């Protein structure tokens, strides 16, 4: 049985594992948003950044990329993803159905935010998000890089996220 992973943020541009197939997909019941404070990768404890997470939101869906893991690398990929995504326990690992653009539905590994975790910050106004992102830096680099790469890759695959587009433009202005 194939292993699939749903990418909606940095997994779009830096999966970190061998991908055998990439297909645009939709995850119902979740919205992509900058609702997780980053104290490791894109910020620090002193100055947290923001990273994208999937926030449960009935009646909506997140468009992203379903990534089929190269056969024979499933175990190593799972270990890698757990080390990368579960660093602070703010994400919860789930297997959820993703509807692929080509009509298939696959069970995919998905990392969603734990709304009870202290890094959860859902509902921040976009301007506040822009202010945070424009100045935060973490172990993986500037928070701006994360935003700009994600926005660019969504655009490259033909997906439009109005909030991300607004944040991209606003943060560019703030950093100019």
Name the catalytic one among 21, 75, 83, 85.
Answer: 85
User: How deeply is 146 buried, as exposed, middle or buried, from its count of CB atoms within 10 A (0-12, 13-18, 19+)?
Assistant: buried
Say whether 85 is catalytic.
yes
- N- to C-terminal Cα separation, the chain: 48
List Cα–Cα distances, 18 to 5, 12, 58, 77, 153, in angstroms. 11, 13, 32, 8, 18
Q: List active site positions.
A: 85
């Amino acid at each position: 049985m194939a292993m699939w992973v749903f990418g909606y943020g940095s997994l779009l541009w830096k999966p970190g594992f061998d991908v055998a197939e990439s297909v645009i997909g939709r995850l119902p019941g979740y919205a992509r948003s900058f609702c997780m404070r980053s104290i490791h990768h894109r910020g620090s404890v002193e100055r947290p950044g923001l990273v994208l997470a999937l926030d449960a939101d009935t009646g909506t869906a997140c468009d992203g990329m379903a990534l089929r893991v190269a056969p024979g690398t499933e175990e190593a990929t799972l270990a890698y993803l757990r080390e990368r995504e579960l660093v602070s326990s703010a994400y919860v690992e789930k297997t959820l159905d993703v509807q692929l653009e080509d009509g298939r539905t696959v069970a995919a590994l998905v990392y969603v935010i734990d709304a009870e975790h202290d890094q959860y910050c859902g509902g921040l106004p976009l301007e506040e998000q822009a202010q945070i992102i424009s100045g935060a830096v973490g172990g993986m680099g500037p928070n701006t890089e994360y935003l700009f790469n994600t926005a660019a890759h969504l655009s490259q695959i033909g997906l439009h996220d109005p909030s991300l587009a607004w944040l991209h433009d606003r943060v560019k202005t703030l950093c100019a």
